[in-house]
A and B are shown apart, each in its own frame.
Chain A
Amino acid sequence: MAGLVETFFNVEVMAQYAPKIIEGMGITVVLAAVVVVSGLVLGFVLAVLRALRFKVLNALIVLFADVFRAVPPLVILIVIYFALPTVGIKFSGFVSAWIGLSLVLAAFAEEVVWAGILSVPRGQWEAARATGLSFSQGMRWVILPQALRLTVAPLTSRAIVITKNTALASVVAVGEILYQAQAGYSFSYNPSPLTLGAIAYLILFIPLVWLGRWVETRFAWKR
């Protein structure tokens, strides 16, 4: 028992690496925030573009959504960070993770928002257009307010998933929580920094999980 504590909860090691882990928390938060914002915005824009029903554009959007939902996020990050430089496109680890995870979130968000748009009855479009509203006015004032209400809960859960995936950025040398924890582990030969990392993730993400649950009940349709 004493050995277990010594190994995973070594106070000395923890004290030594806590500042690094806290620094990693900051990077995790920033990365998660930019990924969630750009991923949701891009997914939203793609779904609205899809509603214009231009054949070629729609095929491209569907292809994008399918590819980025099918390929594991880790593979995408590695391609962006390690493979793209061979053709002269070079991003830092942080930017690679930002782009890669945003594209994955955008792919899922596009599908969710699109499903929301489709779920609004056709008569709503007809009423809007019959009173002279343009496509974009109908979208903005009639369709999206109804569609988005249905998408808040699934989008929140998707955003939480992608936020956890920021741990993958450790592979492309971003100094976020897991990267710092692993580094501490290899320097100290003691896994306590990993314990600290797990605690850091709990501190950050447990509130998000609670938020997700609240959102799900708050935005459930009262029929």
Chain B
Amino acid sequence: MSGQSEAPLLEIRALRKSFGTTEVLKGIDLSVVRGELVFVIGPSGSGKSTLLRCCNRLEEPSAGEIWFEGSNILAPSTDLNAMRRRIGMVFQSFNLYPHLNARDNVALALIHVLKRPRDEAHAQAIEALRKVGLAERGDAKPGELSGGQQQRVAIARALALEPAIVLFDEPTSALDPELVGSVLAVLRELRTAGMTMMVVSHEMGFARGAADRVVFMESGAILDQGPPDRIFGPNAPARIRDFVASVEHR
């Protein structure tokens, strides 16, 4: 892992979020340094996805600060669209645009957000698809692709904008088991390439091998965090051991 000593790329401070009277995030402090792969695990309803979605303000936090590239993105003066092109996001249900082919799914933001000329955007889109092993499927509509391929297109869509960090919200949960591997392989390659990532997932085996740090959340708070060896090891808190055991023996 690189640069533990440098300032964090993303720093979440005392983050709170309520839906109505239900508080789903109860004061989260978490930082991610450049090049780090942070894995967030925990039971459903623990606030993992909400935490992730607060990081690009798809959800509006109720209180707290999120520092990214030197500014608090929760400040009113934040340029939302400029911030979002620096923070990529991959969704559980892919959310590809069904009316556009794979290449245009990737190229859309390049053309309209980064204002790249169409030809250049298309070339970059194909390049991004190449990184996820789908350069040949640029003409395919999402409906013609398998779930695993769709998710890889979605990853290419996020990567094409050259974000500083990519947030993954349960990227393999909607996939058939035999398709999970292809998506995890892409994540592994991204890690090797030095991409900073925050991943909410139940793929414990992958977390063990690839994560730099594992964060365990429960009831809107971080119960513990540390290197996978410790979080998945025999000396982890009983609550975490129980949770990991229950997920792995599903």
Contacts and interface: CB of A to CB of B under 8 A. Distances in A.
A137 B58 contact: no
Contacts of A134: 81
A123 B87 CA distance: 17
21 contacts: A123-B93, A123-B95, A126-B58, A126-B91, A126-B95, A127-B91, A130-B56, A130-B84, A130-B87, A130-B88, A130-B89, A131-B85, A131-B161, A132-B82, A132-B109, A132-B113, A132-B161, A134-B81, A137-B113, A141-B112, A146-B97
Contacts, number: 61
B98 interface: yes
Nearest to B114: A132
Contacts of A124: 95, 97
B87 to A, nearest CB: 8
Nearest to B56: A130
A75 B93 CA distance: 50
Contact of B85 (A121, A126, A132, A141): A132
Interface string A128-145: 111111100100011001
B95 A132 contact: no
B157 interface: yes
A149 interface: yes
Contacts of B231: none
Interface of A: 121, 123-124, 126-134, 137, 141-142, 145-146, 149
A129 B95 contact: no
A134 B109 CA distance: 10
B108 A141 contact: yes
B58 A133 contact: no
A141 B98 CA distance: 12
Nearest to A145: B99
A134 B112 CA distance: 9
Contacts of A129: 58, 80, 84
B89 to A, nearest CB: 4
A127 B98 CA distance: 12
Nearest to A126: B58
B125 interface: no
Contacts of B87: 130
A213 to B, nearest CB: 24
A131 B108 contact: yes
A133 B109 contact: yes
Contacts of A130: 56, 58, 84, 87-89, 158
B216 to A, nearest CB: 26
A126 B85 CA distance: 13
Interface in B141-185: 154, 157-158, 161
Contacts of B58: 126, 129-130
A217 to B, nearest CB: 19
B96 interface: yes
Contacts of A145: 99
Contacts of A128: 97
A124 to B, nearest CB: 6
A131 B113 contact: yes
Given A127-B95, A131-B161, A141-B108, 15 more contacts: A127-B96, A127-B154, A127-B157, A130-B56, A130-B58, A130-B89, A131-B113, A132-B82, A132-B84, A133-B81, A133-B109, A134-B81, A137-B112, A142-B97, A146-B98
